[in-house]
Structure 1
């Protein structure tokens, strides 16, 4: 998709009701000719929002979303199909399938739960992070290539060390050109960045892409800044886990988990 024409100020452009074209800003970190999953995860949430927008407000909140990455994410137009798997007044399950060139590449399921007033018993969350505006910028592009990483504003809460980092992530770009996105979709569009902020081994020597992303939310996040308090663990048999406490500017909102396939990069 390298054309010499400046990319729009968005990660995607709409083609029709179900199809979207990525811009150069959606380019991946492991391979710039592939999609970075993070904005695609937000796009799936955007499609889920559109699926539920035509009905009366049900009072349900997206409380968990799990994405399984089924194959190579080519930097090409995609189609997203959404269906209601389990309808309900207090609990509902939605499923979205992302297709590229007619082949399913991502399957996502989202649980929506009833919104109730539980403020009197709320508690148990982690401490708030220092606000992003007062923190130094961090250049992730010094470690990772790709249009998506280059588009980010990253603020370091702590000095990163191998397998451990805490940072705020934001972007000036729209998710879809000319379309408003919900605070939730904009927030989720940045969560998959977690696997790149706490580098345990140099990505020039080791690969450790995630094959899934699961997000559990106990608080509805605001958009703008996504806070990532991240720990990366590698096991002895080729698997790893990226675990993240998620924050917005008000405080903790949930957790994210990513399973990694860890493998050395061998010279040709």
Structure 2
């Protein structure tokens, strides 16, 4: 088994291992690991300005990401006193595979008054200690994303409609580095359309072309829960949305635009 999802090669280049393999093609990555890798690179750029909280990450998935060497380039778009906007591209073989933008904010202590509507924030449907361990199932048995991530079902059934599932890294994202809180969210959030699937993986494609994550605070702990559901139209489109939790409660939301087709 590889030691990590990616190995840093220097000069902003990384080599993907088979732990990143996705469900659709044996030679292509699940989008979660490369989105988390983008988060890893963006966080490093933002932290040089003292911006610690990633409030939003949007990834546009232009092309499938192969299991091989990729380059991540980060750009500062604008950095102000309390917030900074950054962008990144993922490249391989001379082609852009992914474009991402992120909003980072400066953290500060703000005392909230008692009795605010909707507060305290809700907890996940069930804590990970009480959830049922279950390996995510792909149509193939090759080493892949389900080996990278430990999963526990809190509510529902994976690939069987609305469900809540806890995710935790089994292996590092980048060899030699402990995954950070935002990387833990990014690697899991792209699975919302899978765990809440309402169509059969063997008969239909329901691939997301983007992912947007909005976070109200920095996650804590190793576990991230997606309480996900999928909504479909009869015109080949759909939307997967996930409420995101850590063990302390709600941390944000994630959405994915879906391209839906019947398999040939």
Q: Say whether the fold is shared (TM-score over 0.5).
A: yes
Q: Distance in 2 between matches of 1:246 and 1:145?
A: 28
TM-score by length of 2: 0.91
**1:15 counterpart = 2:20:** no
Q: Distance in 2 between matches of 1:142 and 1:31?
A: 11
SS at match of 1:120: coil
- How far does residue 163 in structure 1 lie from its aligned partner after superposition? 2.7
TM-score by length of 1: 0.90
| Aligned partner (choices 131, 136, 139) of residue 140 of structure 1 | 136
Contact 1:187-1:223 at 8 Å conserved across structures: no
Contact 2:166-2:225 at 8 Å conserved across structures: yes
- How far does residue 162 in structure 1 lie from its aligned partner after superposition? 3.7
Cα displacement string for residues 3-39 of structure 1 (whole angstroms, at most 9, x for unaligned residues): xxxx422100111130000001011111121011101
Report the counterpart of residue 232 of structure 1 in structure 2. Answer: 230
Report the counterpart of residue 127 of structure 2 in structure 1. Answer: 131
Report the counterpart of residue 204 of structure 1 in structure 2. Answer: 202
SS at match of 1:157: strand
| Aligned partner (choices 244, 258, 261) of residue 260 of structure 1 | 258
Contact 1:170-1:225 at 8 Å conserved across structures: yes
- How far does residue 223 in structure 1 lie from its aligned partner after superposition? 4.3
- How far does residue 185 in structure 1 lie from its aligned partner after superposition? 1.7
Task: Compute the RMSD of aligned alpha carbons.
Answer: 1.9
Q: Distance in 2 between matches of 1:119 and 1:38?
A: 34
Q: Distance in 2 between matches of 1:107 and 1:180?
A: 24
Q: Distance in 1 between matches of 2:11 and 2:163?
A: 39
**1:117 counterpart = 2:134:** no
Report the counterpart of residue 186 of structure 1 in structure 2. Answer: 184
- How far does residue 191 in structure 1 lie from its aligned partner after superposition? 1.5
- How far does residue 83 in structure 1 lie from its aligned partner after superposition? 0.7
Report the counterpart of residue 85 of structure 2 in structure 1. Answer: 93
CA change 1:170–1:180 in 2 (3 A) is: closer
Q: Distance in 1 between matches of 2:168 and 2:140?
A: 16
Contact 1:168-1:228 at 8 Å conserved across structures: yes
CA change 1:253–1:145 in 2 (3 A) is: farther
Report the counterpart of residue 94 of structure 2 in structure 1. Answer: 102
Q: Distance in 2 between matches of 1:209 and 1:88?
A: 36
Q: Distance in 1 between matches of 2:187 and 2:171?
A: 11
Say which is worse superposed, 253-262 or 141-150, in terms of deviation. Answer: 141-150
Report the counterpart of residue 26 of structure 1 in structure 2. Answer: 20
SS at match of 1:176: coil
Cα displacement string for residues 188-231 of structure 1 (whole angstroms, at most 9, x for unaligned residues): 22221222111211111000010000000012112411100001
Gaps in structure 2 of 5+ consecutive residues? none
CA change 1:34–1:263 in 2 (3 A) is: same
CA change 1:143–1:131 in 2 (3 A) is: farther
Gaps in structure 1 of 5+ consecutive residues? 1-6
